[in-house]
Structure 1
Amino acid sequence: MIKRTAEEIESRRARRAERRQKQRDANIARAAKMHIARLASDPLIVITSDDNVARRVHIGCSGWYYWHWKGHFYPTDAPSNQLFSIYQHNFKTVELNAPFYSWPTVATVKTWKRQAEPSFVYTIKVCELITHIKRFEDTHALIEDFGYVADVLGMQMGCFLFQLPPSVRYSTDMLQMILSQLDPRRRNVVEFRHKSWWNEDVYSAFQAAGAIFCSCSGPRLPDELVRTADDIYIRFHGIKQWYRHDYSDAELTVWAERIKLSGAKTVWAYFNNDRDGYSIKNAKRLLQMIDASA
């Protein structure tokens, strides 16, 4: 194992911060271009949240483009342009994390649509420009613009996932600001990372707005399934450590039973524990459990 000096570590951090800032600056320009594209589009092509999902159980991974999956899931010698084909041979849905960091271009979204089979469904994590930079401060137009992704994907669009940072704690003002800006035509999921949001006032407000409260399996977060709509949405991050927990059959059985008892019409579940390919194994196993209990 190579040991790095303090100077090398600090240099890497500085370069990473510089790249992230450039990415964030670029997101503003990309959002502006999508705004123009949305305004120029035919409003009649808007796909509502209830039009586009035939299957009722959607289980997959949070992301699919991981080099460290080579040797675990992808063949070691598989070229990068074949990885998605391998992924969708095993799963019928994916939660895309990349749009969180980089606001997608229309061309990129069209590539997603073109590369996928007609039955494949994408869930899209909304850009941090909305959730982390502006934190929903006057983001109604930005949310509408990002929603154009769904119009381009059409029948292959699943959910929009809005993830808030752990520093955002519950308040009635923040709750109202979030829900008042969501587009009711879309299937909107909101993931909180602070436990204060797990309360009945939030659940009631989500139900009234038709929004989906994201249930989380994650460190220091309430371990429960919350249903606020006909759809339920679960993200599996890990129990004691983020992104690196290998869920046991016993742990997955608990969630399979919760899903069954929820009475939800549609299930969305994504595994974000990508370390060592655990998400692949765990997603397949949960899908087997759900299918067996159907």
Structure 2
Amino acid sequence: MNREKLKDAFEYFENRMSSCDLCARNCMVNRKENKGVCGQGVNAKITNAILHFGEEPPLVGAGGAGAIFFSGCGMRCVYCQNFGFSQLNVGKAIDDESLADVFMKLQKAGAKTLDLVTPEPHLRAILHALIIASESGFNLPIVFNTSSYVNVETLAHLDGIVDIYLADIRYTDDEMGKKYSLVPNYWTVTQRSLREMYRQVGPFKEERMSGLIVRHLILPNRIAGSEKAMRFIAEELSMSVPVSLMSQYFPVYKALKMKEISRKIDDDEYIEALDMLEKYNLEGWYQPLHEKMKGVYAKSIER
């Protein structure tokens, strides 16, 4: 872990606290005195830190991913399963030294990776905690688990620090992002941010525990734009970038009152998304929609 890069990044994020533009909301709030859309001040706020076995297989290994779930988010997804801490700001404030201690405890517990879930609002604290933990021998691969709604300048200061970008494509249409996540320019921002992530680390390779993985949650009624997402990955990034296709959508929170997303996806929608992976020669991981779906397309896309 390059301490000079850590220190430079920490100084940058420390300075951004007086006019925050880390995510693409660009609130420009002085977080030393006020809070932006994400609801965060200067110190980190977390809800849990666990050995998590539900992430993509190479990130988990035998010991689990060392997942830290941070409070707050610049997006306002109407179907967010974690709305309690992403939008209602449930969690516990923690100082940088204590956050560093959490990193070390996860490493000592056998975690294969440090999985930072929604880290964008907390980068100042995270970088400082990494500096502190590195002095005690912290060396886990760092996973930046993100919605992709983050400014390129923010990502540029993580170059050489983040090992693995675990990045969403939620929608491929800005209007869908506006309607279902209440942000005006999701797809415009996400294309830029994914290109920057790919520039830094290339496609994920397990042997070096580095690279970009793209996650895509299938939504009802083609709202997520799955074909356009797969085409972007194949043509604008690389067919070597693994895709994690997620089928676990279920309506919660405000989605329950929106007819078009008030149900789970059906078999046809699931198979159509799998077809898109095959059409664009992409590989990765997928979640069977139900017991009968296990093994479907396993040869072509399941690593």
Normalising by structure 1, what TM-score?
A: 0.42
User: Larger relative contact order (C-alpha < 8 A, sep ≥ 6)?
Assistant: 1
Normalising by structure 2, what TM-score?
A: 0.41
* Higher share of residues assigned helix: 1
